[in-house]
A and B are shown apart, each in its own frame.
Chain A
Amino acid sequence: EVQLVESGGVLVKPGGSLRLSCAASGFTFSNAWMTWVRQAPGKGLEWVGRIKSKTDGGAIDYAAPVKGRFTISRDDSKSTLYLQMNSLKPEDTAVYYCTTESGFLEWLGRGQGTMVTVSS
């Protein structure tokens, strides 16, 4: 079954750090561009960043609000995508989704995202 399953979301204090994971299965992860998207409670979708496949150069891009604080990485041997989040702010509170990307985004399987709450 083709799916992406996010994990790692918790309640964390402002200024804290957290690492999210996204486990992929059912497709050739190493060939995929992968993206993180977030959705604050009751709000719309926001692109966080992407990592290209190694065969396409492996470049990583970030949205302005997270650049310098968040780091996207991948472990193709484990078919897993990561999002390291540092210096967290209350405005980072959101459900975080991972998707494949071909420009447009595909949420695979029944992943529900993972909730990150930044609060004191």
Chain B
Amino acid sequence: ELVMTQSPATLSVSPGERATLSCRASQSVSSNLAWYQQKPGQAPRLLIYDVSTRAAGIPARFSGSGSGTEFTLTISSLQSEDFAVYYCQQYNNWITFGQGTRLEIK
């Protein structure tokens, strides 16, 4: 099974600062990598697909990068509404998710 590992588990950042979230695949997933945001009591929301393509309506402060097995989600200037849990997901070999990174206010 293709395992996705996210780090860190929890990230504390101040509003206005940059946040960098990491996702590692146990084998190459090519460019078949997506990121999701989930707030308490809500369904996840697609942010990024194909590593770096923002989904409709997603602000430009969200960006994705990487290839193969190492991927990064960057939020350039954190807004209050960005504090949430973020998941990466590969769709190169079935579908698997990372365990999530909780982004909290510092």
Contact count A vs B, C-beta below 8 Å? 54
Taking residues whose C-beta sits less than 8 angstroms from the other chain, chain A's interface range is: 20 to 34
A116 to chain B, nearest CB (A): 15
Q: Is the CB of A45 within 8 A of B87?
A: yes
Interface of B is mostly: loop
Q: Is the CB of B44 within 8 A of A45?
A: yes
Q: Is the CB of B89 within 8 A of A104?
A: yes
Known: A105-B34, A105-B46. A35 touches B95 (CB 8 A): yes
Selected interface stretch from B16-24, B68-76, B97-105: B97-105
Cβ contacts A to B, 21 pairs, < 8 Å: A35-B95, A44-B87, A45-B44, A45-B89, A45-B100, A46-B97, A47-B94, A47-B95, A47-B96, A61-B94, A97-B43, A97-B44, A103-B32, A103-B49, A104-B46, A104-B91, A105-B34, A105-B36, A107-B43, A111-B43, A112-B43
Chain B interface (Cβ < 8 Å from any Cβ of A): 1, 32, 34, 36, 38, 41-46, 49-50, 55, 87, 89, 91, 94-100
